Amino acid sequence: MTKNTKLLVWTALFQLLQRKDFEPIHHLCLSAVRILSRDKCDLDKLFCEKWIYTLVEKAGLYEYVELESGSLPLADMPRKEITLEALKCLCNSAFNSEEARNLCANTSIAQALIGRLRVYKDVPFKDEIMLYDMKLLFILTAFRPDIKRKVYCELHGMDYLISCLNELLKEATPMTDDKFDSEKGDSKKVHCTFLQVYILLIILKYL
């Protein structure tokens, strides 16, 4: 795909994402954006502030920017497939494009990610959402010291990461080792899903 063709396709996809009447295919548009955002070549030239805001909106993050402690966002999340595809797009873009990271730093994306983390247990399809939220947060804080400072110092992100870690362990399914029990007593293990393990590993990278 030539540079000009890629720009035309990219722009057309985001224009479709702006249109409510095309919402039934928004997840397909985002899938195409995700694939295109894997290629670092000329990716910086494709981004503008409007497109980053579009991805943040489709990821359902704006509802969590001004979230009060213990409260839930008023508006519904976008459809699951739209939310997840938008988060994947943001992860790819933040990893592969310096311009995308710069634009993200000028949004409220850090506040939104921490806001959603604060109410992790009440988020729809939470494990899938949190997997990509944590990936995105990790990428942004790894590449952008200013975002890292904001997350750690201003937003008290470490406290919420530890809280999320504890919540995941509480939700883990208890599992009994019968052989061990018969010999030593009533010791128990816990079983985490693949997604939970992946989230735990990402969180532990921060600690």
d(CA 123, CA 26): 21
Give pLDDT tens digits for 46-59: 999 999 999 999 99
Give pLDDT tens digits for 15-67: 999 999 999 999 999 999 999 999 998 899 999 999 999 999 999 998 787 65
Give the 3-state secondary structure of residue 173.
Answer: strand
pTM of the model: 0.87
> What are the sequence ranges of the domains in the chain?
3-155
Which CATH number is associated with domain 3-155?
Answer: 1.25.10
**Which of 4-8, 189-193, 203-207 shows the lowest per-residue confidence on average (mean pLDDT)?**
189-193
Matching residue, tokens 């704006």:
62
User: Per-residue confidence at 182, pLDDT binned at 50, 70, 90?
Assistant: very low
d(CA 169, CA 190): 8
Which value, to the nearest 10 degrees, does the dihedral of the CA atoms of residues 60, 65, 69, 72 take?
-30
Q: Which two tokens stand for residue 104?
A: 């993200």
Q: Which residues contact 124 (CB under 8 A, 6 or more apart)?
A: 77, 80
